[in-house]
Amino acid sequence: MVGVEDLSYHRNKNTLSPSLFSLEESLAELSSLVSTAGLTPVASLTQRLNDPNPRTYIGTGKVKEIREACEAHETCTVVFDNELSPRQLKHLENEFGGRDLSSDKPLIKVLDRTALILDIFAQRALTREGQLQVQLALQVYRAPRLTKLWTHLERQSGGNGVGLRGPGERQLEIDKRLMRDRITELKKEIDAISSHRSLHRKKRSQLNLPVVSIVGYTNAGKSTLMNLLSASSIYADDLLFATLDPTTRRADLGHIQAKALAAAPPGTPPAAPISEILLTDTVGFIQKLPTTLVAAFRATLEEVAESDVLVHVIDVSSDSWEKREQSVLDTLEEINAGGKPVVRVLNKIDAVPYTENGNSGRLRAEAMMLGTGEDTVAVSAKTGEGAEDFVECLRKALQGLLKDIEVVIPYSKGEDVNAINEVGVVDKVDYRENGTYIRGKVPPALFNSLAKWAVDESSS
Ligand SMILES: Nc1nc2c(ncn2[C@@H]2O[C@H](COP(=O)(O)OP(=O)(O)OP(=O)(O)O)[C@@H](O)[C@H]2O)c(=O)[nH]1
């Protein structure tokens, strides 16, 4: 594995923005990505550069060092934590191991971070939508590479003047067209699934239940929290991107409140009941994912953008938790979900190391919460510790969404009265000649459908 800190970031507007993460943090994460992809990391090398070499990205001394490390470890793959141009990839492969004469395949394969993540995505996508999104991301990643590679070959094959166009140029045109067609086709298929999904969401909205999406950095514990809350079993593993496809469950968090009440000292008043919710688990975010690739997951991320409340799961047992949190917030902004109410969940408090003065993870997590708002809770999704605090915090966030209503509902529309009783809060009821008068609060979706029964008696 090779990590390079490109100190020319601030001068070069075409590269990605400088990482929030240190070189070492980013390399540690690359190591997890490498393992997740099914490879075994054997060595890691770093370099801080002022001017990346346009040919090999790294300096010639480092190229030699890596070649020697490959020989020593008998390794066949070198993974860069940075994005490399197609030209750099090719030169590096030639420098490290050369090519097999019969197949022209490199003897040592060079991958960059994006290609590695896409490979993991390809292994993990289970649903048709997930697979299509990965294929689109792959095509988007390959498109500029194809053009650059062919342009290079074209130059080699003798210029591009009239009458001098070689087979390479024609092939490039054909390949570019095929790729464009494939991208259009994939986008169409994704759009079709996406409109199916939005129909599904419309149907779901008739349930009048608040929609809560669990977001967070990859491996933060989103699926584990989802399992705890919905008492269901979703694939959760110590792998990055274990979840690629959004899963939505109807969840009644009353079971957690009931458990807390049973364990509380006798006489403890029961907590205000939380309504049922629709809970969605989503793909994990990760730093340095190019915007074009994030865009390929638009259909999945629409779920996030259209939810009422976000639950942001943060793995506080990681030293880089604050940077990861920031990286997720940046991605949320990018997908237009930045303004949503958020419940911050400081997760894995059971795994937070003891501090020098012997404080437990819980105490340290509490220290982390100092100065944070009411929207933050410390939990262990694995052991269930703090689950009831989380439910209370979420209940408050959902309460904040409720809208005041004052309606008179005709007696023939009893279902609307039932809906208010199920998901809203009733402050006053009166049975009148023309229907049921109710003053109270309801979730936004129900508010809209009750608008036709609205009355205003507040001033009278
Ligand atoms: N110690 C500890 N481990 C946890 C906790 N929550 C989750 N884990 C572990 O962390 C790993 C990742 O958990 P997941 O729930 O798959 O994480 P995720 O955020 O859904 O992961 P992605 O699908 O990669 O985005 C698993 O090995 C879990 O068992 C926790 O509270 N404490």
| Residue 305: predicted pLDDT | 84
Name which of 149, 190, 189 is nearest 171 in CA terms.
149
Q: Per-residue pLDDT for 312 more than 90?
A: yes
Among 72-81, 206-215, 234-243, 407-416, the minimum mean pLDDT is found in 234-243
Q: Which residues pair with 378 in a beta bridge?
A: 346
End-to-end CA distance of the chain: 73
Backbone CA torsion sign across 71, 75, 81, 86: positive
**Mutate which of 126, 218, 224 for ligand 1 pocket (most atoms within 8 A of beta carbon):** 224
CA–centroid distance, 417 to ligand 1, in Å, is: 41
Average pLDDT over residues 170-178: 76
Helix axes 128-156 and 298-305, enclosed angle (nearest 10): 130
DSSP type of residue 3: E
Rounded-to-integer distance, Cα 425 and Cα 441, Å: 5
CA–centroid distance, 190 to ligand 1, in Å, is: 29
CA–centroid distance, 238 to ligand 1, in Å, is: 6
Average pLDDT over residues 79-101: 87
Q: How confident is the model at residue 125 (pLDDT cuts 50, 70, 90)?
A: confident
Burial class (CB in 10 A: 0-12, 13-18, 19+), 208: buried
| Residue 233: predicted pLDDT | 46
* Structural contact between residues 318 and 361, judged by C-beta atoms closer than 8 angstroms: no
Contacts of 215 (CB under 8 A, 6+ apart): 222, 282, 285, 304, 310, 311, 312, 313, 328, 332, 337
Do the bridges between strand 435-442 and strand 403-409 make them parallel or antiparallel, or are there none, so unpaired? antiparallel
* Structural contact between residues 242 and 120, judged by C-beta atoms closer than 8 angstroms: no
| Residue 332: predicted pLDDT | 87
What ipTM was assigned to the predicted interfaces of this complex? 0.98
| Residue 162: predicted pLDDT | 43
| Residue 158: predicted pLDDT | 45
Q: In terms of pLDDT, which residue wins out, 459 or 307?
A: 307
In the chain, pLDDT over 70 holds for what percent of residues? Answer: 80
Q: In terms of pLDDT, which residue wins out, 291 or 93?
A: 93
Contacts of 329 (CB under 8 A, 6+ apart): 338
| Residue 159: predicted pLDDT | 44
Residue 286 near ligand 1, beta carbon < 6 Å: no
| Residue 119: predicted pLDDT | 85
CA–centroid distance, 315 to ligand 1, in Å, is: 8
Q: Per-residue pLDDT for 272 more than 60?
A: yes
Residue 348 near ligand 1, beta carbon < 6 Å: yes
Burial class (CB in 10 A: 0-12, 13-18, 19+), 377: buried
Name which of 19, 41, 17, 38 is nearest 28 in CA terms.
41
Rounded-to-integer distance, Cα 272 and Cα 254, Å: 10
Rounded to 5 degrees, φ, ψ at 279 are -115, 125
| Residue 8: predicted pLDDT | 59
Read off the pLDDT of residues 128-171 as tens digits, 9 standing for 90 and up.
877 888 888 888 887 776 655 444 444 444 444 444 445 555 66
Burial class (CB in 10 A: 0-12, 13-18, 19+), 266: exposed
| Residue 155: predicted pLDDT | 47
| Residue 434: predicted pLDDT | 92
CA–centroid distance, 271 to ligand 1, in Å, is: 28
| Residue 241: predicted pLDDT | 54
Write down the residue that tokens 């009931």 correspond to: 258
Read off the pLDDT of residues 19-73 as tens digits, 9 standing for 90 and up.
678 888 888 889 988 998 888 988 888 888 888 888 988 888 989 999 998 888 8
Average pLDDT over residues 346-355: 78
| Greatest mean pLDDT range, 387-401, 404-418, 443-457 | 404-418
Read off the pLDDT of residues 425-442 as tens digits, 9 standing for 90 and up.
899 999 999 999 999 998
Contacts of 193 (CB under 8 A, 6+ apart): 128, 129, 132, 299
| Residue 157: predicted pLDDT | 47
Contacts of 95 (CB under 8 A, 6+ apart): 56, 63, 67
Residue 347 near ligand 1, beta carbon < 6 Å: yes
* Structural contact between residues 339 and 296, judged by C-beta atoms closer than 8 angstroms: no
Q: In terms of pLDDT, which residue wins out, 13 or 378?
A: 378
**Mutate which of 214, 382, 383 for ligand 1 pocket (most atoms within 8 A of beta carbon):** 382
Q: Per-residue pLDDT for 363 more than 70?
A: no
Q: Per-residue pLDDT for 79 more than 70?
A: yes
Question: Tokens at residue 160, please?
Answer: 């591009």
Residues 166-196, buried b or exposed e (16+ Cβ, 10 A)? eebbeebeebeeebeebbeebbebbeeebee
Distances (CA, A) of 46 to 26, 30, 186: 11, 12, 38
Average pLDDT over residues 338-348: 90
Rounded to 5 degrees, φ, ψ at 409 are -105, 125
